Chain A
């Protein structure tokens, strides 16, 4: 049908009163017929992106174009039509309807597209045969293995021959034998003009991909020595949503830790004073910063890489770090001046 173009996509929602942006200015261009893998840890926005591609979630801003269709400008009725005719979805939890047989599950999208019962039945039988389940048509999902259920889900997703297939963690609940069956199937789907977008954190899938998109840019863990940074009052050390590899300890002055609110504005979470440390969870778990750090007065902070911080804390220190307990930092180490 066409290429996929995502421009400056932002998805923002409120969580506990704070603004959360799983996707912030995301861009992607993919040619038709590709198998794209969205890679990243939980919470990095993979499923959010799939939901936007599938016409299930309306982004806060930005544009998604699939072929000639501007997905972000469709109204509710057109979106329902888009989901039915353009997108096939394979869910992490298979999501087959437990009361329906494998055949009837595959018939659901066919019937909702107005295809007659007889024709839908024939087509569903062909699809199940295509995924190797011709002898399981009358089985209910509960009587099928995880791999078989996922194959039924794939058959359902391709029932109306959509040009775009999105798959959310399709191997999450499968053992390695079942993974093999499903992977082969997913690879086969990305043929001709059909595009397949798979969200996963399962690196076993990577060799299948025509394109791998890392939603959270990783950084190599380094073990450089601690570095001192001098901040003027009002200067931002790091911003919420960005990646970083340093944990900071305040030597002099004060640093405000701020979080963006859902309705606009910021909330002061706390003020780090000399001896306090902040910014530890992002580098530790390779997650974006969850708050912004800004100097309240002229301040001096020492930036530690995770490895350097670990080294300094010794055994058991990481546990205290995660729980943000006061740490015995001992003597200040010799630091390098910032570049």
Chain B
């Protein structure tokens, strides 16, 4: 019966090709959306990792070192730096801002950290900023060393480039000295968003809260949470559409082949074999759509203005979910096929 199922697919190849392509486009969109959501997390993770900070100390009540930070004066910095297990501690500043590039203005993430860290990433070109008028920028800003950028009313000289450093949906990161960032963000007041620590902190000082890298990544992703949730909902809806396409194609196939199924039953073919043949069609459609969908997603990903980073597990889960969804969606068709009355084989055409 498996041969008969495959022959039927050849026989109705146009319909199955259309079904495969339609489902593949949906799978590709699902992969791209998954890649987008994962891209947000991946760039946030990359940014936090690049800072080289193991623990962020924030004031009690603050929800993170970035978006959820509460500015405070780093009066305890020296004491914290001298704590056991702490290799280095630095005052860090973070804020969202806009950068003017000629006639264009772009949103950007501003990070302030000492020249030698912690909090200053490794540069692919140039050197870290050493004074308040210098900055290192992400390569995605498309600017070179020696050029100037304007942030608020301040003109800064680019002295270094950080490779592909972005956060918050592909916004370029700009790194300044702590003082430079304080001048931009806090009007020159000696405030910080967090104290970045390399090493471990045995005991958190009273009035502070320690946040690890995962917590910092979650904080950086907080503004995108609604967007990620929306993407997830759309992805689920796309799964439903994909299941409906596979299910309706298999159901139509079952309806058109009722006479065939009745004949199979009448000549003694076991019902299980008939169902297996139809299920095979659902599996073949779903898996073919996965293959085409993966190729399409690779073509569609670069079109998006944000980072599409499809996680490896998605390529493993996609075919599994596709097959399971395909079989569930084909349930109606399968039921129709196995419940057909073999007496239907009798009578005229």
Which residues in A have some Cβ–Cβ distance to B below 8 Å? Answer: 47, 50-51, 54, 56-57, 80-85, 87-89, 91-93, 95, 97-100, 104, 107-109, 111-113, 156-157, 168, 172-173
Contacts and interface: CB of A to CB of B under 8 A. Distances in A.
Contact of A111 (B3, B343, B346): B3
A111 B267 CA distance: 12
A100 B264 CA distance: 13
B348 interface: yes
A72 to B, nearest CB: 16
Interface string B41-58: 000000000000000000
B271 interface: yes
Contacts of B78: none
Interface of B: 1, 3-4, 7-8, 10-12, 259-260, 263-271, 273, 342-343, 345-349
Contacts, number: 89
Contact of A92 (B3, B264, B343, B346): B346
B347 A108 contact: no
Contacts of A98: 11, 260
Contacts of A84: 267-269
A88 B263 CA distance: 11
Contacts of A100: 4, 7
List the 5 closest pairs (A to B, CB-CB), nearest first: A84-B268, A99-B11, A83-B268, A93-B349, A112-B269
A54 B341 CA distance: 13
B268 A95 contact: no
11 contacts: A56-B266, A80-B265, A83-B267, A89-B266, A89-B267, A97-B8, A99-B7, A108-B269, A109-B269, A112-B270, A113-B268
Contacts of B342: 56, 83
Contacts of B3: 104, 107, 111
A112 B183 CA distance: 82
A91 B4 contact: no
Contact of B346 (A51, A82, A157): A51
A50 B346 contact: yes
A95 B3 CA distance: 18
Nearest to B267: A109
Given A51-B346, A91-B263, A97-B263, A80 B4 contact: no
Nearest to A101: B7
Contacts of B7: 97, 99-100, 104
Given A100-B7, A104-B3, A168 B263 contact: no
Contacts of B266: 54, 56, 83, 89, 91
Given A109-B267, A112-B270, A156-B267, A168 B4 contact: no
Given A56-B343, A91-B346, A108-B269, 11 more contacts: A56-B345, A83-B268, A89-B266, A93-B349, A97-B263, A108-B4, A108-B264, A112-B1, A112-B273, A156-B267, A168-B346
B4 A97 contact: yes
Contacts of B348: 92-93, 172-173
A168 B8 CA distance: 26
